[in-house]
Amino acid sequence: MDAWVGGEADSLNPLTSCGGVKGGKRAGHGGYGAEFMRLTVFWQRMAEHFGAGYADTFARDHVMTELGGLTVHEALDAGWDAKDVWRVVCTVMNVPGEKR
């Protein structure tokens, strides 16, 4: 079963230890429609950029000021949109434009 942001935990993706996003969005930060991203797409992009073995480690351990001093897992658990978190990761880690 695939998880949508704000939906059930993504049970197929071993990288998603944070489960579904609470509330679906962070107040005043993003929203639905064009801003909507599946967690599976987010984790696929993380794995493509960092490698399957390092993506979860990075998401669990790397604290980013741009996420309010949170890690990727903490930001997703706090209700940040996956697309907004991905944009922050791209900016902070200089992800090439073709991978964004």
Full-model pTM: 0.66
- Distance, CA of 99 to CA of 71 (rounded, Å): 21
| CA 45 – CA 26 distance, rounded (Å) | 21
The enclosing H or E element of 58 equals helix 52-61
Tell how far CA 74 is from the center of its chain: 10
What's the pLDDT score for residue 12? 35
Dihedral over Cα of 60, 62, 64, 70: its sign? positive
- Determine the pLDDT at residue 5: 43
Average pLDDT per block of 10 residues along the chain, 100 residues long: 40 37 41 70 95 96 97 97 96 89
The pLDDT value recorded for residue 1 is 37
pLDDT at 34: 54
**In the prediction, which pLDDT does 97 show?**
85
Note the pLDDT of residue 72: 98
CA distance 88 to 70: 11
Give the per-residue pLDDT at 44.
95
Residue 25, pLDDT score: 43
